[in-house]
Amino acid sequence: MLRLKIMVLAALVGLLGPQLGMAKDQRILVQSTTSTLNSGLYDYLLPIFEKEIGYRVDVVAVGTGQAIKNAQNGDADVLLVHAKESEMEFVKNGYGENRQDLMYNDFVIIGPEHDPAGIKGSTTVGEALTAIQNTVQMFVSRGDDSGTHKKERHLWQGNNLTPIGNWYREIGAGMGATIRMAVEANGYTITDRATWIAFEAKDTHQILVSGQAELFNQYGVIPVSSKKHPHVNIQGRDALINWLTSAHGQKLIAGFKVEGQQLFFPNAF
């Protein structure tokens, strides 16, 4: 079952041997986007972290916008989200020490198999969105300032489209709930591929538009500034980020698959 606002208690690791003795009883707080949780990535990675380092990690999985706000308030050691422009602003304003690419996948447009708007085979995202708007077929938007919602708004605006009307539903919910509503209402939505693959109740819905460069979905990882928030767990923060961006961590991310499909593609180097 897909989860939105959830605290996941687990152990995280690093490859930093010298810190091993100090790490056992320390907590790392990560503010994260939901797709990394909903896809099962943390369930896959965290047990390995526990075995290798012994840090305990609390993961707060919310929409990217809320995750950034939480980190700005000092409720994080590490920020892991997918809205690069907002991430760079976070660092520029002194809340993060730096930002690194971590991994990527892509966004996709899903809809019912019978595709009443006729978007399957669209060569551009703009063509698909225009067709949905012109045929007034239901489009379900997260409407929650998440990374996916930010991308969706950018795609409408970038194609000079203004989604207004009863056909466009902003529900202010997570990706799982948004997909569920789209499926139940025979509507369309934009989702990250990882959450879609992991979503079980697809019914006749399928990916109709994918592969365009504008659907690229980059994830970044940021150490929260200890200057802004002196309580930040610097050792744990750095151990986690170093582990994720190491050759070992990147290989593990690449090895995570659901239904035989690789969900995230590491690019920290």
- Cβ neighbours for 168, distance < 8 A, ≥ 6 positions apart: 138, 139, 141
Distance CA 234, CA 197 (A): 35
SS3 (DSSP) at 213? helix
Letter for the amino acid at 33?
A: T
pLDDT tens-digit readout, 227-268: 999 999 999 999 999 999 999 999 999 999 999 999 999 999
Distance CA 197, CA 260 (A): 10
pLDDT tens-digit readout, 137-172: 999 999 999 999 999 999 999 999 999 999 999 999
- Tell me the pTM: 0.86
Q: Tell me, what's the pLDDT at 49?
A: 83
Q: For residue 92, how many other CB atoms are within 10 A of its CB? A: 10
Greatest alpha-carbon span in the chain: 62
Q: Tell me, what's the pLDDT at 269?
A: 81
CB-based contact 142:38 (threshold 8 Å)? no
SS3 (DSSP) at 43? helix
Q: Residue 86's Cα: distance from chain center in Å?
A: 13
Q: Mean pLDDT, to the nearest integer, of 189-209?
A: 96
Domains and CATH numbers, the chain: 6-104+218-266 (3.40.190.10), 106-215 (3.40.190.10)
Distance CA 260, CA 242 (A): 28
